[in-house]
Amino acid sequence: MRRASVLVVLILVISAGCARLPATPTETVEAYFRNLKRDPSRNLPLLTPEFHDRHGISMAAVEGWLWGDYLFMDPVEREAPIEALAPVDATRGRDAWEFAWLQVQVEGRLRKAVMFLEPEFRAPVALDDGRVEVQVKVRVEGSFGFVQVFRLKQEGAAGWRIDEIEQRGVQLRDVLIAFSAHPQASLIPAVKAASRPENQSF
């Protein structure tokens, strides 16, 4: 019994040395894309709390992913439009936005879409507000792809964390892949259109 306890403690101590935070802005962004594909939960510590104030993903907006194709129905088919449900989320704390952001990644089509991401990282650039910007060219087979701009800030022991993401040059045919690279409320109408069976490319 004593030997087993010593072994467990030893494993924990060795394991503690294994956990490592990304040291540079580029490492953080690389980890973000890696985690999207393999381990979405690990992206939570890579994001600042303010990040979740910006993406606009709420439970009201993603409940379609939770309970079937509710999201992809026309407003007339739904009991209430998404917009009518959205303020319910606003009554809650930041954890509601964080939860919804993670929850949306459960959806099967997004899990498939992230596998299509082929990021190319560019050198980081310092911004006037103390943050650092990392641009990523996201290639998508058969199209120009799009650019995903990460703005990161250094937060003590937490290292470099993603504070804001912006996408540029997203074409309608790539919208689901772009959404999988950065779930955000502004893309939801286009995602709805692209997700209809007749428009699905995968």
Partner 1 sequence: MTGSSLRAERLWLAAAAAVAVAAVVGRLHSAAAFPALQDYDAAGHVQSAHFFLQGLLPPPSSWSGFHPPLYHALAGLAWAMLPESVPVHLAMRYLSLAPGLAAIAIVWRHLARRFAPEDAAVTAVLLLSIPFVGIALVMLGNEGFCALFATLVLVRLLDLPTDDGDLVRHALVTGLWVALAALSKSTGWVVGGVAGLAYLVHARASLPRALLCGTAIALPALLLAAPFYVRVALDGGGSPMSFLSGAAHSPDLALVMSSQPPGQRELWHYLNFPASAIAWPRFDGAGMATSVPGLLHASAWADVHGHYIWITTTTLKVLPIVSVAGLFATVFACFGLLRIVQRRSPGELWALLFAGLLFAALLRYSWVLPTYSAVKASYLLPALLPIGLAFASALQALRGRFRSVARGLLLLLAAGDTAFLWFGWWI
- Site residues, partner 1 (CB under 8 A): 12, 15-16, 18-20, 31, 34, 38-42, 44-45, 58-60, 63, 66-67, 70, 79, 85, 88-89, 91-93, 95-96, 98-99, 102-103, 105-106, 111
Q: Which helix (H) or strand (E) segment is 134 a member of?
A: strand 132-139
Q: Please, which residue, 6 or 127, has the CB nearer to partner 1?
A: 6
Q: Produce one character per residue of 105-136: b if its CB has 16 or more CB atoms within 10 Å, e if not.
A: bebeebeebbebbebebeebeeeeeebbbbbb
Q: How far is the CB of 108 from partner 1 (least distance, A)?
A: 8
119 CB-near residues (< 8 Å, 6+ apart): 29, 30, 33, 136, 137, 138, 139, 148
Q: Please, which residue, 67 or 202, has the CB nearer to partner 1?
A: 67
Q: Please, which residue, 39 or 120, has the CB nearer to partner 1?
A: 39
Q: How far is the CB of 125 from partner 1 (least distance, A)?
A: 26
Query: Which DSSP string corresponds to 75-128?
Result: TTTSSS-HHHHHHHHHTS-HHHHHHHHHHGGGSHHHHHHHTT-EEEE---EE-T
Q: How far is the CB of 172 from partner 1 (least distance, A)?
A: 27
Q: How far is the CB of 89 from partner 1 (least distance, A)?
A: 5
Q: Please, which residue, 59 or 194, has the CB nearer to partner 1?
A: 59
Q: How far is the CB of 102 from partner 1 (least distance, A)?
A: 4
Q: How far is the CB of 151 from partner 1 (least distance, A)?
A: 21
Q: Please, which residue, 103 or 171, has the CB nearer to partner 1?
A: 103
- Among 164, 170, 96, CA closest to 132: 164
Q: Please, which residue, 108 or 142, has the CB nearer to partner 1?
A: 108
- Among 97, 161, 103, CA closest to 134: 161
Contact between residue 121 and residue 29 where contact means Cβ atoms under 8 Å apart: yes
